[in-house]
Amino acid sequence: MKPAKLAIPAALAALLLPWAALAAAGSPGPNASAIAIFLAFVGITLLITLWAARRTSSASDFYTAGGGLSGFQNGLAIAGDYMSAATLLGISSIAYFRGYDALPFAVGFFIGWPIVLFLLAERLRNLGRFTVADIISYRLDETRMRILTALGSLTVVLFYMIVQVVGAGQLIQLLFGLDYKYAVFIVGALMVVYVMFGGMIATSWVQIIKATLLLAGGTVMLLLTMQHFDFSLGQMLRDVVTASKQGAAILEPGRMLSDPISTISLSLGMMFGIAGLPHILMRFFTVTNAKEARRSVFYATGFVGYFFLIVVVMGLAAIVIVGGNPVYFVDGNLSGALLGGSNMVIMHLANTVGGNLLLGFMSAVAFATILAVVSGLALAGASAISHDLYAMVLRRGRANEQSEIRVSKIATLCIGLAAIVLGLVFENINVAFMTALAFGVAASSNFPVLILAMSWKGLTTRGALWGGLTGLVVAVALVILSPAVWQSVLGFPAAIFPYEHPALFSMPLAFLVCYVVSRLDRSAGIAREREGFERQFIQAQTGFGINEAARH
């Protein structure tokens, strides 16, 4: 593909611009070994994109990698999608600053996987083709359901993308010594190249490679870290208590999640939010059958659970190893700010225990982690625009594959620009905390409609529409009015909504509205929608009729 061939040297040229900027500013050169590993990895991913571009010739290739991944491959790709900036950078940062309260974040992000395994994975593969909207609109009004699902998916994608762009921007800022704005631009540009030219094939293999390297690098880093404590977890915890200014309180709950309502709301959002993340759910369309979809979740659960726990351990260990070293603080002041921002704890730890080589490796893998996730997010958002809104709503299913893919690439470019702008606005927010907000929105907008569409015969189009919109609008409104945005970002003196997480209020309300409106609905076509449930249920459980459903 000629455009792809042109895009790769252009992207490499963009990566060389940091040195030109540094030279012009008279800045000292950045860490050479870290930069070398970083560029090598990005170069490899761009070659993967070129290879994938040559294999991407249809909408199925672009959206779902042709549905040819095995359960193990897709499990690694899902883990790569899920082990994001929030995991590596955000949770380790929470463990460093808040101690024990990082554990509920790690467990909360992990505990939702059984819900996906037992309630969604097999049904998604048997009912869907490209997007979640294919499933929700199976028996309900296609136009309204696709518009609703696209709105919910795009909202979640943008919330979640803020996390990744902020993390990547701070990482490049630390690694290259660049201005944060320039770093965010690089992230957005590379994301657009990956998705526009490689589609799901490139995104999947970048995620697989990155997940493998992240698990291996994390394990090596854990061993090097625990060597400082003679491989004794008890000794590490005793040293943490001694080194922390908070003393034994650092290992006690409630310092960050002291309010029980906020804690419950956060937990609900993290538990059920995963079942509403469009870029995760979309991955179940990339495997060959429902059995491989279940295997995907099984493998992903093991990989994700292991990695989340070791990140918490390393974040706590950094209190001793990083917290007492003035090299990693602005002006050498141990009471001041960390160099590179509060999300860079794990990178400073890598430099201490493994030197420049491990710092370069973890930086490259962390950046690849973020690129893989934002690529998956961009692809999910672009598919909602091109497949659901353009091909199925605007063109009523009459769009050809070439025009649909072209719209998807334009949408990818627009999403990339939006990600850059949002990354600049939310520069100083903790990435794990922002992820929790994205999960809360997903749990309130996408999950209720999706699970009811597959499980409750009485759900009607009107009920799904009003319930989904209620969950989406209320969740977003509560996030904006919460202290995290109303005070921290917008600068108002006091928040209108006192809690930082919306799911406890918005998710039950979405279910309630779906139920009440569906029960009171007397519109035409209800009988047809309810009759279609039996056929949908049989296909969801057995896969019988899946070829016929592909017309969606």
Digit-coded pLDDT (tens) for 35-85: 777 777 777 877 877 777 777 767 777 777 667 788 888 888 888 877 876
Which tokens is 121 given? Answer: 């994975």
d(CA 236, CA 501): 32
Q: What is the pLDDT of residue 23?
A: 37
For residues 442 and 270, what is the distance between their CA atoms, to the nearest angstrom?
Answer: 9
Third-level CATH fold of 67-443: Sodium/glucose cotransporter (1.20.1730)
Query: pLDDT-based confidence at 229, cuts 50/70/90?
Result: very high
User: Residue 547's CB: how many other CB atoms inside 10 A?
Assistant: 8
Query: What's residue 8's pLDDT?
Result: 46
- Provide the pLDDT confidence category of residue 27 given band limits of 50, 70 and 90: very low
Higher pLDDT, 286 or 221: 221
Per-residue tokens: 138? 């199976």
State the amino acid at position 268 in one-letter form: L
The two tokens of residue 261 are: 């309502």
Mean pLDDT of 465-487: 88
Sequential DSSP letters for 224-286: HHHHTTTT-HHHHHHHHHHHSTTGGGGGSTTSS--SHHHHHHHHHHHHHHGGG-HHHHGGGGS
CA–CA separation, 145 and 143 (whole Å)? 6
The dihedrals phi and psi of 300, each to the nearest 5 degrees, come to -60, -40
Burial of 70 (0-12, 13-18, 19+ CB in 10 A): middle
Q: φ, ψ for residue 69 (rounded to 5)? A: -80, 150
What's the pLDDT tens digit per position in 143-199? 888 888 888 888 888 877 877 777 777 777 766 667 778 778 877 787 777 677 767
**Contact call for residues 470 and 510 (beta carbons, < 8 A):** yes
